[in-house]
Amino acid sequence: MDRDARNLMRPINSDFTSSSSSSSNSDLFRSVQAALKRHRPLETSIRPKRMLAPRREVTKGSASSAAVVDTKSSRDVATQGQDNTAKESSVQPHDMPTSAKETQEDACVTAVSNSSSITHTFDENLDVPIDQTKPDIGASCHFESQGIDAQKKVQFSIGTGASSLEMEWVSISQAEASAVINHDSKHQNILNTEADICLKSDGGISLLAKRTTAAQDQLHQFRNFLSQPMTQSSVVGPSCATTTSVHATSAPMSTTYCSSLHSGYHMPVEPLKDSNVNPQPSNAPLRGTGAMSNPQIAVAAQPSTSAVDTQNEGKEYDLSKEQKGCKLSESEYQENPSLPDVKQTEVESYAGDVANARSQVTLPPNLCSDTKSEPSKSEKQEKAASGKVVPAPRKKNKDSDLFIKVNGKLYQRLGKIGSGGSSEVHKVISSDCTIYALKKIKLKGRDYATAFGFCQEIEYLNKLKGKNHIIQLIDYEVTDKALLHAVLSGSINNKDGRVKDDGYIYMVLEYGEIDLAHMLSQKWKEMDGSNQTIDENWLRFYWQQILLAVSTIHEERIVHSDLKPANFLLVRGSLKLIDFGIAKAIMSDTTNIQRDSQVGTLSYMSPEAFMCNETDADGNTIKCGRPSDIWSLGCILYQMVYGRTPFADYKTFWAKFKVITDPNHQISYEPVPNPWLLDLMRKCLAWDRNERWRIPELLQHPFLVPPVPTQPSSHDHSCKLLRLIGQNCTSDSEASKLVCQLKQLLEDPLPSTTSQLLTSRDQQCTLLCQVSKVCLQLQEHFQRDK
């Protein structure tokens, strides 16, 4: 178990039994610490804790908006905060047990969230990397074959559905839990830090001095990072549309959620005006870090003379004293998990909240110890959970790993979100405290044609700038300028050459909280065991969002080619489309695109995508166009309705290939309460691509726009024939649809205009023509069904 995990799991109160350390020294140490915590003098230990609570109370509102998933402990803290506000003027000894209890709770929660590590695997139905707890049972397979020009890939995602689905769900819960408990674990951290400081003051044992030096260095680096005035921090919450914006330069710190969340200090907020701020002397107040201020930095890096809390001036921790104390060796430190571990606050979660983001920003991993150089916690957890021996931390400056520069702007890595076939995506925070996703594509060793293909994603995203349902590209950099030039000019000279230099493509993207694949698995998990069917309104809402996203690209003559739930991200309540890695623009002279190789993700691939460029029975070349995307949408809808893709039963590539390319194969549809839903799925999953509906039609499908049942009225008598026909074909969705259309045309031919406007002969002829056309269709339908 790594040190972080041990720290997070340790009990805080005095009654703990050693659950984390095998070392008797550390047991003893922690016992002493706990005892001291219980009995420490109020002046040195309780005050900051008292001061934490009111801050929380003040910011409770924003907290709740930022972190949708709330835990009991965080609520407790908030409540406690309220209570304590009233008592602020007088220190009450009985504050102590409450705090201890709280931290113990937090510790428990933290232990759960840290007891598993996160790895990536793939779910059969979802075809996305999912966070999975170790051990890696029920692993599904994710094959990826490079096509002719490498970036054209076919992903085969086959596996063991139930188990991986289960795993995924667990991990989601954990991710959320970890998102929630972050600030509480940090709170606990402060308490621990306090306790340790007390202990060290008394006992004279300190590693803190060393860490403080590191902290100051780090702080200096971070000040440079924050060279621009901070204007806004915008962080999205876990699974719902939640955004918290903090105007650090204008809002008082005490009103922001995160900045004051754990702070026992009132930090002055000033924008950094000088990017080359020298490291502050150790007794200087923490200025300029503004919203980034963190009490742990304050505790670790500020001496008692800190001006941050004038009320408590002279009673703050005297760090210089600490620095004079003797230091623990690194090994001693490793064996003493109860020592303050600032890194403990570096928690990565899929859906971080503001508090997380800030603590992560203020406390880069190597802040607390110069011996810690792991690139990220999740990576460390992966290693730990895989049973491999985690090597002792090496002394290495990992700042290059910590910050990623794109076009001269620094972004601090908060953790790896995932990696695709060709890229790594990191959660990052910019100097103005906005969370982004940073996609990093390594080009070295790839041929220019492939690299060119990667760059096209940038092109598409640029083209789709400002479109609501497309993930927004904030900034990008292609380090190989020749390549970028080639992309911009639309031609590559060196097509067969390989990118030799260490070239990268960086894309700074809007950050998505959760993808549809995870949302779906959550939804199915919720319904697990019950006889419920999927909530139709939920389905309608997200289906419409999906259609709007795809409509946007189809209007721009772009075929995505890899539509799957994992490529729709939830951003502030809207689904947005990502991953244009294999998208293709439709040439102006055709409605189809020609592909160099098969593309897409197997479970969502259309028959024509499997047979792309082959010739059909009539000798025509099979091409992929917008209908191919519609097929993929059909598979997504099917999955939303039934919880699995239409060909999930066919496990191997060849089985899938055979069944999907077979025009006579009948997809099975279990009965659903709404016949329109069946009709909709059929419209998308028509084998013949010419029969598939287009997006504009799908947006008007009666499943999304249910025909309003008309009240029997005198007017209705004129449509008696239609009513009678309609009553007799309720189970025939095709006939019902035609009857509805006819009714609509007869009753309200131009809903948006008044009937007086129906004056033009042409308009009247058009409408009559439409009526006869629908009548004819209905008649033919009945004749076929006879």
Our CB check for ligand ATP shows the closer of 106 and 562 to be 562
Does position 510 bind ligand ATP by CB under 6 A?
yes
Which member of 309, 353, 480, 562 is catalytic? Answer: 562
Integer CA distances (angstroms), 646 to 143, 380, 385, 523, 666, in order:
19, 38, 35, 18, 10
Among 569, 605, 729, 738, binds ligand ATP (CB under 6 A): 569
Our CB check for ligand ATP shows the closer of 508 and 739 to be 508
Select the span of 232-240, 286-294, 403-411, 506-514 touching ligand ATP (CB under 6 A).
506-514
Does position 123 bind ligand ATP by CB under 6 A?
no
Cβ count near 475 (within 10 Å): 16
Integer CA distances (angstroms), 777 to 736, 768, 772, 774, 780, in order:
12, 14, 9, 5, 5
Does position 437 bind ligand ATP by CB under 6 A?
yes
Q: What backbone torsions phi and psi does residue 362 show, to the nearest 5 degrees? A: -75, -20
What would the 3-class secondary structure string for 386-426 be?
A: CCCCCCCCCCCCCHHHHEEEECCEEEEEEEEEEECCCEEEE
Closest separation between CB of residue 360 and ligand ATP, Å?
Answer: 16
Does position 309 bind ligand ATP by CB under 6 A?
no
Does position 177 bind ligand ATP by CB under 6 A?
no
Closest separation between CB of residue 609 and ligand ATP, Å?
Answer: 15
Q: Which amino acid is at 10?
A: R
How many alpha carbons fall within 13 Å on the CB side of residue 536? Answer: 12
Among 509, 534, 575, 739, binds ligand ATP (CB under 6 A): 509
Our CB check for ligand ATP shows the closer of 110 and 601 to be 601
Helix (H) or strand (E) holding 585: strand 584-585
Determine if the peptide bond prior to 696 is cis (ω within 30°).
no
Does position 581 bind ligand ATP by CB under 6 A?
yes
Does position 418 bind ligand ATP by CB under 6 A?
yes
Residues in the chain, overall count = 786
Our CB check for ligand ATP shows the closer of 409 and 439 to be 439
d(CA 704, CA 700): 7
Which residue has its beta carbon closest to ligand ATP? 420
Our CB check for ligand ATP shows the closer of 197 and 509 to be 509
Distance from the Cα of residue 335 to its chain's centroid: 35
d(CA 355, CA 568): 26
Q: Are 600 and 561 in contact (CB under 8 A)?
A: yes
Our CB check for ligand ATP shows the closer of 269 and 441 to be 441
Distance from the Cα of residue 491 to its chain's centroid: 35
Does position 565 bind ligand ATP by CB under 6 A?
no
Among 421, 644, 719, 744, binds ligand ATP (CB under 6 A): 421
Closest separation between CB of residue 689 and ligand ATP, Å?
Answer: 23
- SS3 assignment, position 246: strand
- SS3 assignment, position 756: helix
d(CA 678, CA 696): 18
Structure-block tokens of residue 41: 């003098």
3-state helix, strand, coil in the chain (%, to 5): 45, 15, 40
Our CB check for ligand ATP shows the closer of 424 and 732 to be 424
Q: Which amino acid is at 42?
A: L
562 is catalytic: yes
Does position 129 bind ligand ATP by CB under 6 A?
yes
Our CB check for ligand ATP shows the closer of 111 and 507 to be 507
Q: Are strands 403-406 and 119-122 parallel, antiparallel or unpaired?
A: unpaired
- SS3 assignment, position 145: strand
Among 175, 179, 410, 425, binds ligand ATP (CB under 6 A): 425
Scanning 490-574, the segments in alpha helix (DSSP H) are: 516-527, 536-555
Does position 578 bind ligand ATP by CB under 6 A?
yes
Closest separation between CB of residue 417 and ligand ATP, Å?
Answer: 4
Does position 512 bind ligand ATP by CB under 6 A?
yes
Closest separation between CB of residue 622 and ligand ATP, Å?
Answer: 23
Closest separation between CB of residue 563 and ligand ATP, Å?
Answer: 11
The verdict on whether residue 439 carries a ligand-binding annotation is: yes
Our CB check for ligand ATP shows the closer of 159 and 418 to be 418
Our CB check for ligand ATP shows the closer of 511 and 631 to be 511
What would the 3-class secondary structure string for 166-233 be?
A: HHHHHHHHHHHHHHHHHHHHHHHHHHHHHHHHHHHHHHCECCHHHHHHHHHHHHHHHHHHCCCCCCCE
Q: What backbone torsions phi and psi does residue 52 show, to the nearest 5 degrees? A: -65, -45
Among 420, 453, 600, 634, binds ligand ATP (CB under 6 A): 420
Site for ligand ATP in 624-683 (CB under 6 A): none
Select the span of 97-105, 199-207, 412-420, 730-738 touching ligand ATP (CB under 6 A).
412-420
Does position 471 bind ligand ATP by CB under 6 A?
yes
d(CA 647, CA 668): 9
Site for ligand ATP in 514-543 (CB under 6 A): 515
Site track 438-457 with ligand ATP (rule: CB under 6 A), x = hit? -x------------------
Among 579, 608, 629, 679, binds ligand ATP (CB under 6 A): 579
Binders of ligand ATP: how many residues, by CB under 6 A? 23
Closest separation between CB of residue 228 and ligand ATP, Å?
Answer: 23
d(CA 24, CA 313): 38
Closest separation between CB of residue 467 and ligand ATP, Å?
Answer: 14
Among 126, 207, 215, 417, binds ligand ATP (CB under 6 A): 417
Closest CA to 373 of 388, 395, 391: 395
Closest separation between CB of residue 73 and ligand ATP, Å?
Answer: 27
- Annotated binding-site ranges: 439
**Positions in the binding site for ligand ATP (CB under 6 A):** 128-129, 417-423, 425, 437, 439, 471, 509-512, 515, 566, 569, 578-579, 581
Residues designated as active site: 562
- Annotated binding-site ranges for ATP: 439
